[in-house]
Amino acid sequence: MTPGRLLVGLGILIAVVGTATAQPAFPVSSGSSPGPNGSGFPAPALGLPPVAPPGESSIQTLSALVDDHPPVKELPSGLPELVPPPDKHHSDHEIPGAMTPFYPGRSGWYTSGEFLLMRPRTTNLDYAVLGTSNGLGTVGPVESLGYKVGTGLRAEAGYRFGEGKWEAAFAYTYLEATGASSIVALPGEVLYPTSTRHGLTDRATSAGGNTDLDYMLFDMLVARRMLIDDHFALRWLGGGRFADIRQVDNTYFNGGDARGAAVLTRSRFQGFGPIIGVEGIFGSWHGFHLYSRATIGLVSGRNTNRLVETNDSGATTYVNTSYDLWKVVPTGSLAIGFGWQYKNLSLRAGYEIQQWQGIFERVQYTDDVAQGSFNARSTNLSIQGLFLQSVLNF
């Protein structure tokens, strides 16, 4: 093929392709109106985007779809967070208003004061047996000293930290009580002393005595408060206790073998040891609630017991000795009552029992011949009575 014929064929091919490209994809039928811009395309259906003519880009068609929607509005800057922040006072739930005096949920100082109206009770305070003067039989009741109701106080001051859950405190308890008793034998009766040395002062016609108790406790405490639910809260506590408890007993005898005879006993326990306990309230409907408290402990310390026995109005000495030992004394207390609390003030009243097991070891010499023969009589101490409590949170 010659070059001239080749050029003529390429020209015809280009003309054919150009003509086909210029034809519309959808020819206009008779009776139809021309499309937009005279393109001859059919009008778009209602609600559908217009069809782009062949010469326009598909990107323009997509941008038209976007332009039909309203612009996206930005969220206001003051919109609250969907997840609320954790409660800074209590991790589980809000603290009810009626429970805040017991569980304030914040750091700060607090003070507590209690008025105690209690009666101590102790063993080994007997001093004579009332019997008949005929025969060798011992028939009659045992006479003993006893305490009257004593008064005292319990004061506590501490600081709450860790959003009010933890606290460190110091508490002081003091109670004093006294008691006295006397008896006179009628004709045909006789008194047999129980606190004197046997074989020396065995009979008397009159007897009496008095006793005195000084009770002091010093507690260093760490406590943890827990809100169980909207009506029940606990306060767990632990720490150390120093105790200084003194008891004095004096008995006197006259008549028979006794000529102004006296038996003087001095017992004292000083010790330190751990204690644990729990305190709780239940209720708090309009502030009214039930209240309970319990503690247990072991106090280790020195127990001294002094004994002096005389006759002839002090001129003759039968006994002048002491019995000192180191011992561990179990102790415990239980209190139950009711109360009312509002805002930062709590008022409570109830009944409490305290027990000291084997706190003293009183000495008694049992033989007038074997001068070193004695018995150590273990003495228990319990304190029972009412308490009135007031607690103030700052």
pTM comes to 0.73
At 114 the pLDDT is 97
The pLDDT score that the predictor gives to residue 12 is 54
Average pLDDT, whole number, for the chain? 82
Between the alpha carbon of residue 204 and those of residues 72, 198, 288, the distances in Å are: 111, 13, 58
Looking at residue 85, its pLDDT comes to 53
Q: What is the pLDDT of residue 231?
A: 84
Predicted confidence (pLDDT) per residue in 166-190, tens digit:
999 999 999 999 999 999 999 989 9
What CA–CA distances, in Å, run from 364 to 58, 183, 357?
Answer: 118, 22, 20
CATH architecture type of domain 97-393:
Beta Barrel (2.40)
- Provide the pLDDT for residue 131: 87
Residue 247: what are its φ and ψ, rounded to 5°?
-135, 130
The CA-based diameter of the chain, rounded to the nearest angstrom, is 175
Locate all alpha helices (DSSP H) within the chain, ordered by sequence. Answer: 3-22, 58-67
Round to whole Å and give the CA distance between 105 and 103. 6
The CA distance from 307 to 322, in Å, is 6
> Which tens digits make up the pLDDT trace of 180-236?
999 999 998 999 999 999 889 999 999 999 999 999 999 999 999 988 888 899 999
57-78 confidence digits (pLDDT tens):
444 544 444 455 555 555 555 5
- pLDDT at residue 71 in the model: 58
The number of beta carbons lying within 10 Å of the beta carbon of residue 258 is 23
Nearest to 154 by CA among 279, 247, 249, 299: 279
pLDDT of residue 23: 47
Q: Give me the tens of pLDDT residue by residue for the chain, a chain 394 residues long.
A: 545 555 445 555 555 444 444 444 444 444 444 444 444 444 444 444 454 455 444 445 444 444 555 555 555 555 445 555 554 444 445 776 667 778 787 889 999 999 999 999 998 999 999 988 776 777 888 999 999 999 999 999 999 998 888 999 999 999 999 999 999 999 989 999 999 998 899 999 999 999 999 999 999 999 999 888 888 999 999 999 999 999 999 999 999 999 999 999 999 999 999 999 999 999 878 889 999 999 999 999 999 999 999 999 999 999 999 999 999 999 999 999 999 988 889 999 999 999 999 999 998 888 777 888 888 899 999 999 999 999 998 8
pLDDT at 188: 87
